[in-house]
A and B are shown apart, each in its own frame.
Chain A
């Protein structure tokens, strides 16, 4: 057993445990926290896969930003009561479907092995990404920025109280 494999197993356990906890915990906040575990585990995988920059971004965006946003979301809405139970029939149908889906995909990817391994990813990883972004992918990059801007504005507009609603709120 190599050290790499050991690390993989540890990360795998962390990630899956986080996922399972998310599915099985009852309080919403706890679920969020379990997910942070998963996100961190995934970041570990990124490092193993010579993607330091992505790993850092993962930690920043997911474990940081998105989690915080979601926590805000939870706090702004009702969260005190426990997650209501879903019917067994529906759960069963979904679970069976997912297990079948898993088995089929698993069968497909179990022994997959593609081409040679890329060796130079860890060399100046961030630089490589930066070059790539500003050369080949400059247009998508700019578009993504527009998307982000739109999302920002959209989120503000959506979350802002309607003036009409406000008036009605005042009247009532």
Chain B
């Protein structure tokens, strides 16, 4: 276990090596892939040694605020170990995939160095034992996301998207930051252990605890693209597709869910906070799913699907389904990464993202098509695939927690998920439109296959039939948290499966049978509303962007006219005073003597008045 430190260090090394050898060494992809692969192996070893040895924590002093020593450290507990494996695995696969996908890009090396930095930050985030360290890596992954979204920096859309991604997540981050401050002054520490103990002991007032939990959740909302801070995630699809797979599907956006899971003792202590999480999650799930129905860009559909699935995870966590949430996080990482990589493979082949301009690709790209199908089935919750089990777990938890409205929303979302995923699948891969395309190289196919296998079998770590291995392991925690394990009614998986198949069937009826479908420009009201994403972007543009510009211009004019004017008045007064002096220096003897005489009179007057002569 003592080599845990290697896990973040190896990707960091990859980042540094590539950064400094960029001009001279051309095999950046190989370096990055190898080092990340090594990190993945280490994570596996750590995971297995955790089974044997239990939790692990190492800390060192970092700096001090007066008498309070702030430390840095590495912590391994079940949740961390699991996340580590997911992160390093997906990162490794994406590295490998990128060697093919980015092969012709002139900033190939830069891309891999960013990937290395991201992997470092993400593993660092996962390993953090205290909130300060967590926050630092939290921001760092945001920056990596920003850098990678803006990778095609010469595209104005990429620039805007990168900026948006950074700023929207920062809004959330500020919430998290405030929560950290409040926790520090309540408990005197950033250490999660200390904080949890204080929370359990009731040292924090309940109302304050609720506030803190909600603030933490704000951070998670920003990072995980939950409503209302979701708009950056679809735009972030401007980045290269492997990045979308790694950051905006599997790992970074899941960090929000991870954050809520990490600070779960705080949430479980506050009913209001739990409800907030659940309602936000549920709403986001169905909200994003409906938008995905009308979207035409392949990657954006997947992005909205990610938002929707993340909402699902939040819903699970809010409904006390700790295991369910983390479980769905795991399976989602597999099938969503797979979907993105497969989408990338399609884009790589046809250089097109509008699904209405594609079709019949299953003949040209049979392997990609098959893998995409696996992913789609998995996410739709098709029986016996990974997504099926995790989705069931969530639905069962929600039902068991007594949140029936959210339960119905969950079911509806499951139906919509199947619908939009297969709308995408049928439009892109079926039909007989012929497009020029060639199957991707094997360096891209292999990672997809690995993920494909995981998307199929990943669900068996936690099932009601073969044992709840994952849950038992995850829930070994020293804190008393009310983990809910309801007896799931037998009909839930059944209904869920039926809805999934129903969704696929509807998609088949609408999109699958026709040979080619043109994108229609006539939209009715509902369709337009969905197509414009409920006008949220427009609303934000009008309300916040314009609003802040109005405020800014107001202050600028205040600055320019009132403050500068005041300053100018002062300078003017000084100048006039000086000019008066200059005027006296006219060079005319009469003026000089007048001044001298006036001085004499003043002195005489003073003497006369002060001396009492009058």
Contacts and interface: CB of A to CB of B under 8 A. Distances in A.
Q: Do A and B touch, yes or no (CB under 8 Å, in the complex)?
A: yes
A100 interface: yes
Contact of B597 (A97, A104, A107, A108): A97
A112 interface: no
A93 B594 contact: yes
A141 interface: no
B210 to A, nearest CB: 76
Given A107-B613, A107-B614, A90 B604 contact: no
A104 B614 CA distance: 9
A101 B608 contact: no
A101 B614 CA distance: 14
B608 A104 contact: yes
A101 B594 contact: no
A94 interface: yes
B608 A107 contact: yes
A101 B613 contact: no
A104 B604 CA distance: 8
Interface string A71-111: 00000000000000000001001100100110010011000
Nearest to A108: B613
Contacts of B614: 107
B598 A97 contact: yes
**Chain B interface size range:** 10 to 19
Contacts of A93: 594, 598
B600 interface: yes
Contacts of A100: 601, 604-605
Given A90-B594, A107-B613, A107-B614, A97 B601 contact: yes
A114 B600 CA distance: 26
A88 to B, nearest CB: 14
A133 B614 CA distance: 42
A108 B605 CA distance: 12
Nearest to A90: B594
Contacts of A90: 594
A86 B270 CA distance: 90
Contacts of B600: 101
B594 A104 contact: no
Interface in B6-30: none
Interface string B477-499: 00000000000000000000000
A119 B605 CA distance: 38
A133 to B, nearest CB: 33
Nearest to B599: A97
Nearest to B590: A90
Contacts of B598: 93, 97
A109 to B, nearest CB: 12
B411 to A, nearest CB: 94
Contacts of A101: 597, 600-601, 604
Interface string B579-605: 000000000000000100110110011
B286 to A, nearest CB: 84
Contact of A94 (B594, B604, B605, B613): B594
A97 B613 CA distance: 18
B611 to A, nearest CB: 11
A13 to B, nearest CB: 28
Nearest to B594: A94
Interface of B: 594, 597-598, 600-601, 604-605, 608, 613-614
Given A101-B601, A101-B604, 18 more contacts: A90-B594, A93-B594, A94-B597, A97-B594, A97-B597, A97-B601, A100-B601, A100-B604, A100-B605, A101-B597, A104-B601, A104-B604, A104-B605, A104-B613, A107-B608, A107-B613, A107-B614, A108-B613
Per CB-CB distance, the 6 closest pairs between chain A and chain B, nearest first, are: A97-B601, A104-B604, A100-B601, A101-B601, A97-B598, A104-B608
12 contacts: A93-B594, A93-B598, A97-B597, A100-B605, A101-B597, A101-B601, A104-B604, A104-B605, A104-B613, A107-B613, A107-B614, A108-B613
